[in-house]
Amino acid sequence: MATLKQIFNWETPGLLEIESSLRHWLLLANIILSNVVIVISAVGTAIPMNEIQGYMAVNATKIDWVESGFLLALGVAVPLSIFFSRKFGFKRLFFVGIALFVVGSFIGGISTNYYMLISARIVAGMGGGVIFPVSLTVIRRLFKGNALKIAVTIYVAMTFGVGLGLGCIIGGFFGQLYAWRTVFLLGVYVGIPCLLFTWILMKETGVYPTPKFDYISFIFFALFLISTLFYLTQVKAPWNTLGFRSNFSIGCMIVSVGFLSAFLRRYKMSKSPLFALSIFRRKEFTICCIAMAFVGVMIFGSSVSFINLLIEMYEYERNVVGIVVSMFGFCFGLGGLIPIILGKWVKIHFFAIAGLMLVAVSCFVNHSLTLQSTPEDILLILIIRALGTSLALGPLTAISLQNMPDDLAGQASAIVTIFRQVGGAYGTALISIFSTVRFPYHLTRFAEMVNTNSAAYQDYIARYTNRIIGTTGTPDVLAEKYSNGYVMANISKQAYIASFDDAFFIFGWMFVSLTILMIYLAFSKEQKIPLPKRS
């Protein structure tokens, strides 16, 4: 029987045999649990966001950064995780990633002001950004052959499927109870056991020779992503009345382009660049990265936008919102199994094509939503979208890394992950921009349809006024004013829903374009371009 010293040995824990299959599967369970709680934190906090906003006493533009900042930090941290995991060991970095997430979750749960909360979310996001890429690397080291396919399938289905589903249900339940702090503190309750299991189950991998990390490129890269997100969230903010034409918006765009230019210039000068951008010479990789960004928009941006829509426009209870949107996550998990089951008989490109087509269909069906739409109508859209994104996610990743040279596979995987996470971070802002641009048109269109002098309108106002007087005892004049205000409020809601539909209609045509590109890749000859190695 192993002693405590052997059990808690950092390099080779002695609780179980190193090559024991039981240890491998227990470690996989620990990895999945660590990833699931990150996804729960990403989605679950979106449902009680109104309560958080009220407590922090900030406007809607600022509170959006609580969610977007977390998702952006997930993407920004990926280059750091790739470098430091090889320099200090995968176990050590995985442990540090969980610790950062636990600390960020704890500070978020006890936050008393906005800046404390946003800082906590960035810390938690950096921890999650470290955990995601290291997890897949560790799984590939633990399992081989058919066991590896099963392990990766379980990992993806549980992380995104169960994580999204449980995140919505947990966020809805505690949001309904006005206990939003519990959603953050859940990361502490689950993260601490994960730290213990990581210590006693995971073997340290050792260190590898690594080139010098280009911190200057990383700073430019991070500032470019942050400044772009800031531009997207502020360009149509209520205070920015001139929108795209304002000096502020133009200035933000210039700053963002400046950081991108500085990053590209640094790439040409550096002997060990942050990313091997020569990978983008492969058309398969480039197209898949673009598609992955839009899939990220549909996974995270679409989920958060639907949560806001159901709460603000349809006035659903928080727990009902959680149950409705959770179906997206659970169907995502089930849909992810299809490529594994049918992969022996169907070319992987066709799964990506089918997935992108389904997402496009869901966006076009989205255009039929109205204020009278039922939960079943909304569920249909979410289920189609979940199946589409789950069918596309894995195959797009596999196609992008297909026949990639070994020395570039790590960087290619990191770039694909960044595109997915950045798409998720920018998704809510992009949907909001499209909706805001279209809202005045629909509001004017619906308002001019109302004839306040018609007999039908006067009859409706009279009946609704009598109902208000009979149930509340409100004076006649005020009751009639409330009746007209109710009609105007419904017109405004329908206009917002119509503009929301237009945003997804635009995304639908983007996915049609991506589907055509994937069909082209499926039937084109494999591209073999030698990629220059850079030390």
What are the two backbone dihedrals, phi and then psi, of residue 241, each rounded to the nearest 5 degrees? -65, -30
pLDDT at residue number 365: 96
Cα separations in angstroms, 468 against 465, 476, 491 = 5, 9, 20
Spatial neighbors of 229 by CB under 8 A, at least 6 apart, are 68, 72, 425, 426, 429
* pLDDT > 90: percent of the chain: 47
Mean predicted confidence (pLDDT) in 299-324? 91
Mean predicted confidence (pLDDT) in 348-370? 94
Contact call for residues 156 and 135 (beta carbons, < 8 A) = no
pLDDT at residue number 69: 87
pLDDT at residue number 529: 47
Is pLDDT above 60 for 535?
no
Contact call for residues 14 and 141 (beta carbons, < 8 A) = no
The closest of 432, 409, 442, 294 to 355, measured between CA atoms, is 294
Mean predicted confidence (pLDDT) in 118-127? 94
pLDDT at residue number 159: 87
Written as one letter, the residue type at 188 is V
Going by pLDDT thresholds of 50, 70 and 90, the confidence category of residue 1 is low
Is pLDDT above 90 for 125?
yes
pLDDT at residue number 526: 59
Q: What is the pLDDT of residues 454-468, one digit of tens each?
A: 888 899 899 989 999
Task: Tell me which of 120-129, 250-259, 291-300, 338-347 is least confident.
Answer: 338-347
The span from the CA of 75 to the CA of 425, in Å, is 9
HSE of 442, CA atoms in CB hemisphere, 13 A? 21
Cβ atoms within 10 Å, residue 365: 17
H/E run at residue 383: helix 375-401
Is pLDDT above 60 for 310?
yes
Going by pLDDT thresholds of 50, 70 and 90, the confidence category of residue 115 is very high
Composition of the chain by helix, strand, coil, percent to 5: 80, 0, 20
What are the two backbone dihedrals, phi and then psi, of residue 496, each rounded to the nearest 5 degrees? -65, -45
Q: Which residues of 379-391 are buried (b: 16+ CB within 10 A; e: fewer)?
A: bbbbbbbbbbbbb
Task: Tell me which of 28-37, 335-344, 510-519 is least confident.
Answer: 335-344
Contact call for residues 511 and 288 (beta carbons, < 8 A) = no
Mean predicted confidence (pLDDT) in 279-296? 91
Q: What is the pLDDT of residues 424-443, one digit of tens each?
A: 889 988 999 999 999 999 99
Going by pLDDT thresholds of 50, 70 and 90, the confidence category of residue 534 is very low
Going by pLDDT thresholds of 50, 70 and 90, the confidence category of residue 452 is confident
Q: What is the pLDDT of residues 208-264, one digit of tens each?
A: 777 788 889 999 999 999 999 999 988 888 888 888 989 999 999 999 999 999 999
The span from the CA of 317 to the CA of 315, in Å, is 7
Using the structure block, give the residue that is written with the tokens 């480039």: 286
H helices present in 143-246, as ranges: 145-156, 163-176, 180-201, 215-234
The span from the CA of 278 to the CA of 167, in Å, is 38
What are the two backbone dihedrals, phi and then psi, of residue 347, each rounded to the nearest 5 degrees? -65, 140
User: The tokens of 362 are what?
Assistant: 């869901």
pLDDT at residue number 528: 52
User: The tokens of 483 are what?
Assistant: 């009746």
Q: Is residue 29 classed exposed, middle or buried when 0-12, 13-18 and 19+ CB atoms within 10 A define those classes?
A: middle
The span from the CA of 271 to the CA of 191, in Å, is 38
3-state secondary structure of 370: coil
Is pLDDT above 80 for 153?
no
Higher pLDDT pick, 494 / 532:
494
